[in-house]
Structure 1
Amino acid sequence: MQTFDQVIQSNAAWIQKVVDFDVKRDQLLPLDFTASNTELTDEILGNTDLFSDWVNEKLAKNHARYGIGGYNEHRTIYSRSAHFDTGEEARRLHLGVDIWAPAGTPVYNFYDATVQSFAYNDNLGDYGATIILTYDINGYKFNALYGHLSLASLNGLKEGKFIAAGTKIAELGAKEENGSWPPHLHFQLIKDMGGLKGDYPGVCKFSEREKYLANCPDPNLILKVNFS
């Protein structure tokens, strides 16, 4: 049986966009949210408007249409929310790719799918409006989570609904409906949902890194973004 990577690569011609960017033409800015980013002070992280201003200034200064990055990144920014503090070890390792762009930015389905679930996860620092789609590519089934969406993106959805490739499925939400973040898309691939609906950890404990990364492949296989 083919691996996940092989399935995606062998069907690359049929995989469509997630957002409106052309990796060959659009300027994409990798954003680092690890401890090495000393610009992000507690004051900035504690105020969503200041945090949004910081992101927007970075994009403008670099003439970038989108900010992007974050897969397998050990992040300090989750200290802004108790939502990521679990017992003795806080959750800090990011399992998806974030695409930073203005509220209202369209989000598209990259391949034929059905709705696995959807929810409004309204904790500080959580996903806000969330859609999870299920895919079957040559018999290989997996899921994709789209987080930090507008609440209106959940209208008309029902579990099992078919969503054709190329369909606009959502828009990025403002801070009031996206978990109180600067507007961005959290895009995460998930092989096994483990019985969960409407939610799946997008950040894990570093001690559980290998387990979660094995279940959450690199979304850049779909996005085709590579800065190396």
Structure 2
Amino acid sequence: MTSPTVPAPAAGRPVVVWARLDAPLSRWLWLVKWILVIPHYIVLLFLWIAVFVVWLIALFAILFTERYPRPLFDFTLGVLRWTWRVGFYAYSALGTDRYPPFSLGPEPDYPARLDIAYPERLSRWLVLVKWWLLAIPHYLVIAFFIGGHRYSGGGLVMLLVIIAAVVLLFTEKYPQGIFDLVIGLDRWVLRVAAYTALMTDAYPPFRLDQGGEEPLEPLTPAPDSLWNPD
């Protein structure tokens, strides 16, 4: 299968989330995916503990050097990619029956992709407030989306995925409209995750970009005077 063309991260669009709805999908597999992904959940538990340690190191590195150390950035990106693939397979989307690889790499042939542009410079002062104070409005929104459940969804996402699963059970078809909305919600969550992981200074937009294709136009940046105090 030819690898899909996925837009690269760019200025104004530092986080790229792409997904393709696979077809056909099994009527029944979604009933047992929670069992099948247990090995991934176990590995991801330890990886996210490591991400927290990396986040602390990166915070001080940015504070003193204005740079996120590239190996640490790549590791965090790898964990986010892995988490996104598992969520797409399981209950953040149920968008594919292809079992996700145990991999921190980009996996260009998998039907769920995530990329984040590496920043050459980050604000040393913004790093102190963006992950808690500035992100509070987004936390309130995505708590409604996912119900606080990092790996397998919850809240509105879980409700929509369950509806899609029931439709799939009886019709063998995943409603495209539900898929587009679910991916839009997941995309919002991943943009906030990248921001609070200190991987970008670009404030996530309050914007629901639905569908598997990442919008090509740049996202509207926040005012420099507010989000980039340096």
TM-score by length of 1: 0.30
Q: Which has the higher helix share?
A: 2
- Of structures 1 and 2, the one scoring higher in RCO (CA 8 A, sep 6+) is 2
Q: Which has the higher strand share?
A: 1
**Between Structure 1 and Structure 2, whose CA radius of gyration is higher?**
2
